[in-house]
Structure 1
Amino acid sequence: MGDNSMLNVSEDSNLGRVEIAPEVIEVIAGIATTEVAGVSYTRGNFATGVVERLGKKQSHGKGIKVELTNNGVIIDVFVVIDYGFTIPDVAQKIQTNIRQALKNMTALEIDEINVHVVGVNMELKEPAVEE
């Protein structure tokens, strides 16, 4: 693997180097996204859907794209929002939750977190049964 395929988390020291694969960031960001109220689920873009239908490997970071650039890390999140939630509020909570989760678990600062709303879930949750 080349140097661009891993993220250095700490400076080189006598103990060695710590590197994190982009797939790890995808998984953490995916979990942080689904924890936000109003997120129905994450969904990949068109290309991801085609690959999945062809029976290729599915990722735990489905709906999350991590791009490593010279300027830092850019994350794109593709989500379906539950009907009735305010999209800008949910998107901001997603960005905050991902940033905090990655900072806590990896000590990485993320340059951009772009939220792409690709659908609205119209199915209403079943009401609680009253006795």
Structure 2
Amino acid sequence: MAESSTILLTSNDAGDEIKIDLSVLEIILAIAAQKVDGVAAMRGSLKSGLNWVLGREDRGKGVAVSVDHDQNLVADVYSYFDSGVNVPQVAAKIQASLSKQITQMTDLKLSQINIHVVGLVFPEEKAQLDGEKDQKELFPKSEKDGE
């Protein structure tokens, strides 16, 4: 593992450096993975669950980026697929999309993109998931407030 959570993108003789945090890479990859057809949702963590309760969106959930002992970037993607999809095809599409997106945005290459299918989401469950996104505000304004 890397000693720090940043990757050096560029540096020059004058001492100027451009670094990127691994959490930024996780966000880039998670957004790209969610856009692939057949991906129903990304797996959350305790942190993303707490962020949801606090009203924050955790865009990097379901992706873990690390640096292996050879200083290569490795991405682990944890996602739920729609039922009825061809799992190997969707996984390959995710790998291609993530590789393309990270190269376009950072000029970095991922040595491994490991897809972990956490589960399948059926149509009735997907409707329930979509309903959770449309929940009411945490502290709705009441009519008594006059607003």
Structure 2 spans left out of the alignment, 5+ residues: 128-147
Aligned residues: 120
Equivalent residues in 2 for 1:7-86, closer than 5 Å: 7-14=7-14, 16-44=16-44, 48-49=45-46, 51-53=47-49, 55=50, 59-71=58-70, 72-86=72-86
Structure 1 length normalisation: TM-score? 0.80
Instruction: Say if 1:38 and 1:85, in contact at 8 Å, map to a contact too.
Output: yes
Partner deviation per Cα, 1:46-104 (whole Å, 9 max, x = no partner) = xx24x455x36863210111112232111100010011110000000000100100000
Moved over 2 A (4+): 11-15, 55-59
Instruction: Say if 1:4 and 1:68, in contact at 8 Å, map to a contact too.
Output: no
Rounded to whole Å, the distance in 1 between the matches of 2:20 and 2:94 is 22
Please identify the structure whose Cα radius of gyration is greater: 2
Structure 1 spans left out of the alignment, 5+ residues: 127-131
Rounded to whole Å, the distance in 2 between the matches of 1:13 and 1:87 is 48
Structure 2 length normalisation: TM-score? 0.72
Tell me the CA shift for residue 3 of structure 1: 5.5
Mark the CA change 1:91 to 1:113 in structure 2 (over 3 Å): closer, same or farther: same
Rounded to whole Å, the distance in 2 between the matches of 1:37 and 1:13 is 45
Instruction: Say if 2:48 and 2:58, in contact at 8 Å, map to a contact too.
Output: no
